Amino acid sequence: MNAFAAMSRPVPLEATDVSRAILSPRIRLAAAVLTVSTATAVAGTLLTAPGAAAAPAGIVRQETARDAVPFPKDAELVSAGRTGFLARTGEAFFWTGYDGTVTQLPGTGYSGADGADTVVHATGNDTYTLRDMGTDAEPLVVTTPGALRGVIGTTLLMARADGLHLVDGKGGEAVSRAVTGLPAGATGVESVDAGSFTVLHGDDTLYLVDAAKAAAVTHAVTHNSILGFESVVSSPTHLGWGDYNSADTERHFHLRDVRTGVTESLNATGSGPVLSPEWLAYSGNSATDPAARPLTLRSLEDGRVLQVLDRATAIRVDADGAFVVRGTLAREDGVYRVTVGADGTPAVQLLASAGRIPDLAVTREVTPRTADFGGPSDRVRMAWELSQPASARLTLTHTATGRQRVMDSYSSGTAHEFSWSSGNSLYEMADYAGEYTWTMTAKERYAVGAPVERTGSLTVNRPPVHRDHDANGHDDVLVRDSAGQLSAYEGKQLSYGGPHTEPDSTVLGTGWNTYTLMAAPGDLGGTAADDVVGRDRDGVLWLHRGEAQKLLPRTRIGGGWQVYNKITGGSDLNGDGRGDLLATDTSGVLWAYFSTGDAARPFEPRRKVGGGWQVYNLLTAAGNLAGAPGGDLLARDTSGVLWLYLGKGDGTFTARRKVGGGWQRFTHIAPLREQNVNEWRFGRTGLFAIGPDGSRYYPNRGHVDGVFAPPVDLAPKTGSTFTTAF
């Protein structure tokens, strides 16, 4: 990672911590001054580090004779060198030695060099002061044109109009070396390490520059990201880069051994990859928790993986090839030095402590006992305040059915609010009425500790809705499939024509193939839940009363119903507020059965409506379609023409009105009330029509003549699975 780029990001100032630091006498404010021209010379050294690792065998925590020096909680690790590391809080920079001394640096605008004790102070007018924090050497002032892109040892990496230059300010004589092997205009430095850096030019070319030779080697690479390369890192032996594949929505990391040309694609998608001579280090990819960001080490020799710290937010490499990491172990936040022994055991030493991270806790909560959902815009609010930034998830479980709704908070801070909607969205089924249990689970932002859970219960109340067979506040279409399973499909999902997944449903029961005719006349027994009737093969009509998300065992209404070849229900034919039943016999006579409101005797004796109905092969009692006094009836004739009969409110109908032709393509037609609150037709009853070629929704215009608007082709192709719909 480019330490120079990292240190340029602002961090809030916490001056009280830095002002208490020890001002080391090693800093000499007097400086030797050198002015650097653009003349070139050959110079430079390559930093190397020992240490290959074997199989992991646990973690050793190294203790020191002294207490760890305090470290500001909001400080940012900038670079790590031979004798200490550079950090900043806001605009204030300080150097912490591995011996515990802390030196506050005067002024602002510092850069660091991983693997070296050099800090560079940019003072303006192309002037830079180089200080060796590990010795008593006098500072060196270098004046050189260009923009500083990074620091390698005691060498400045400068971008100029004619390309990149390495300006060496060591040894009493400053020289500038132009980097060779780069195309014109290639000054986009992606990463800087102790002995090399990378340059990106174009969409698919990375240049690895050996700082000792000031020469670039071209590497053609590929990526699958519209955002280009991510997390480019390098060492004298390896080149790494990440990309984001928008097709599979995953991040990948590619590692190339520049000596052999072999490239691996790794599941190393965490942040902050850094290369040492022996290891690739990054933050992320917890084996147990995707939210965690542990320090992960991968051997460049044999691919072995170690997970060391619980969390890592910044990773640097010191002069010995060890990793200096701002992170957390056992809830102690600070700066750690991580090494791997010859036996493969990682060792961790706390260099500076930012203190213990407090345990996550809930400080305030808003959890109602009831949720009254009476309209499509009703919502219930549940909220929690946490002691520190965390993620939060709310899981609501319907007690009777086990159906769950899971909601994640969009906040990454301490306040989390969940808004539970009565209607939810067009894309998903609304939640049931009844008893719920809830669980709120909060996890720290980097999952370094155990999650916090709160539990409770509440009751969802919904007023009764006609044709709502699962008590979720929305009317349903009942569907029997080829296996005999009866399900309730929410109307608002079926009537929405946009791209969405196959609609969800509530299974009301199985074994419904025993019935040859079925209808949903409404609430026949005064329980506020709509009921279903079915005629079996022996001509017996049975009643299944509705109760929440199920239908109760059947009770016998009566026999002799084999004389009918069509039944339909749901329209209020006589204006008493209850849905009634219509049936046509084999001779073509239409009969009306008015409901009584008594489940023991659900229908009055039949009344003759009229003859001649043998010309129709499909009937649908659609409710009130156009504002007439009573419930209406739709009938399709054998030529495919659909006709509308408006109810008078006394059990009879007006003369038929032609709706239109072509309806022979459908096998079933069911009433469907509009549920889209953004549309002018909300609350009107349209038609859901299905057939072998798919399904359509016909919106209701609300006019007696031309009652239906042009149809909407629906995404779910239900004709092959729905054998009955009503």
Instruction: Indicate the pLDDT class of residue 504, thresholds 50, 70 and 90.
Output: confident
DSSP 333: E
Instruction: Indicate the pLDDT class of residue 531, thresholds 50, 70 and 90.
Output: very high
Distance between CA 582 and CA 607 in Å, rounded?
Answer: 10
pLDDT at 715 over 70: no
Distance between CA 323 and CA 114 in Å, rounded?
Answer: 10
Predicted structure pTM score:
0.70
User: Using an 8 Å Cβ cutoff, are 247 and 224 in contact?
Assistant: yes
The secondary element (H helix, E strand) that includes residue 17 is helix 15-19
Instruction: Indicate the pLDDT class of residue 447, thresholds 50, 70 and 90.
Output: low
Q: What residue type is assigned to position 228 of the chain?
A: G
Instruction: Indicate the pLDDT class of residue 702, thresholds 50, 70 and 90.
Output: confident
Instruction: Indicate the pLDDT class of residue 57, thresholds 50, 70 and 90.
Output: very low
Q: Where in the chain is the domain with CATH 2.120.10.10?
A: 515-725
User: Using an 8 Å Cβ cutoff, are 364 and 345 in contact?
Assistant: no
pLDDT in tens, 146-171: 999 999 988 999 999 999 999 987 65
- 3 state DSSP class of 491: helix
Distance of CA 569 to the CA centre of its chain: 44
Mean pLDDT of the chain: 82
Higher pLDDT, 691 or 621: 621
Instruction: Indicate the pLDDT class of residue 684, thresholds 50, 70 and 90.
Output: confident
Give the per-residue SS3 of 396-418. EEECCCCCEEEEECCCCCCEEEE
In the prediction, which pLDDT does 64 show?
A: 42
Instruction: Indicate the pLDDT class of residue 130, thresholds 50, 70 and 90.
Output: very high
In the prediction, which pLDDT does 526 show?
A: 77
pLDDT in tens, 574-614: 988 889 999 999 999 999 999 999 999 999 999 999 999 99
Comparing 79-83, 87-91, 372-376, the range with the smallest average pLDDT is: 372-376
Distance between CA 395 and CA 240 in Å, rounded?
Answer: 40
In the prediction, which pLDDT does 396 show?
A: 95
Distance between CA 633 and CA 631 in Å, rounded?
Answer: 7
Higher pLDDT, 324 or 714: 324
pLDDT in tens, 394-433: 999 999 999 999 999 988 889 999 998 877 666 678 899 9
In the prediction, which pLDDT does 724 show?
A: 85
Q: φ, ψ for residue 643 (rounded to 5)?
A: -120, 150
User: Using an 8 Å Cβ cutoff, are 466 and 495 in contact?
Assistant: no
* Percent helix, percent strand, percent coil in the chain, to nearest 5: 5, 50, 50
Strand-pair category, 250-257 with 238-245: antiparallel
pLDDT at 109 over 80: yes
Picking from 469, 472, 556, 562, the residue whose alpha carbon sits closest to that of residue 508 is 469
Q: Where in the chain is the domain with CATH 2.60.40.2550?
A: 362-461
The secondary element (H helix, E strand) that includes residue 557 is strand 555-558
CATH of 515-725, one of 3.40.50.800, 2.120.10.10, 3.30.420.40, 2.130.10.10: 2.120.10.10
Instruction: Indicate the pLDDT class of residue 8, thresholds 50, 70 and 90.
Output: very low
- 3 state DSSP class of 269: coil
pLDDT at 548 over 70: yes
pLDDT at 297 over 70: yes
CATH architecture of the domain formed by 362-461: Sandwich (2.60)
pLDDT in tens, 62-72: 444 347 899 99
pLDDT at 224 over 70: no
Instruction: Indicate the pLDDT class of residue 696, thresholds 50, 70 and 90.
Output: confident
The whole-number average pLDDT for the span 482-487 is: 90
Distance between CA 273 and CA 252 in Å, rounded?
Answer: 12
pLDDT in tens, 164-212: 999 987 655 678 999 999 998 888 888 888 888 888 876 678 888 888 9
Instruction: Classify burial at 9, counting beta carbons within 10 Å of its beta carbon; exposed 0-12, middle 13-18, buried 19 or more.
Output: exposed
The whole-number average pLDDT for the span 374-388 is: 87
pLDDT at 129 over 50: yes
pLDDT at 511 over 50: yes
